[in-house]
Amino acid sequence: MNVRLRKCVVGAAVAVGSVVLILWLLHLLLGPHCTPHARVRAQVAILGEKVRAFRCDVGVLPAALSTLTAGDLPYGRYANEYDLTDSWGRALYYASDDRQGRFALFSLGRDGLPGGRDEDADIVFEGSLAPLDREIWRNRGSPVQAIDCSAYRTTPQQSLMLRQAAAAEAAKPAPRRGDDASGCRRDR
């Protein structure tokens, strides 16, 4: 009787394990995943907000996106090196006009050329002008005339906590390029 019960338990465990394995494989094959274009859209939006936060913290727009990766900033790094390239391995485009308090941040999409449709479409940070001196881009989004820094104001205690958190974050090793915190699967 004991042997028979053991066989039933083992059989049930194998059946449950098989079902779990099949469901896991189906999730990997058919589960949700992001296209490179969707990832870059999210990346450009996040980086645009980081540029705005830098402007509110420092008082000027960064001269180049690489400024956001410097380790000697008052509140620590705003971005990592790998944040400055799109999913196709090309650098994101950035230009700023600090006199007017506006900037342009965009990717040229999969094809690397201005314009395009679907995956080839340009990805422009909402509210930026890209590039600032070309009329064709002026109609694509409303200019950032003044950046409202009220959401970024902090008390001295919060500033101290932010600096400590930035120092702790800087001490951590940088994530690899393939890591994706959004839960999106990288298309290889």
- SS3 annotation, 51-78: HHHHHHHHCCCCCCHHHHHCCCCCCCCC
Tokens of 74: 């008052």
Identify the bridge partners of residue 104 per DSSP, sorted by sequence position. Answer: 95
Tell me how far apart the alpha carbons of residues 59 and 66 are, in angstroms, rounded to a whole number.
17
- Tell me the pLDDT tens digit for each residue of 157-188: 766 776 787 788 778 776 665 555 554 555 54
- Tell me the pLDDT tens digit for each residue of 52-62: 888 888 888 88
- Tell me the pLDDT tens digit for each residue of 7-40: 777 888 888 888 888 888 777 777 667 788 888 8
Q: Which domains does the chain have, with CATH numbers?
A: 36-162 (3.30.700)
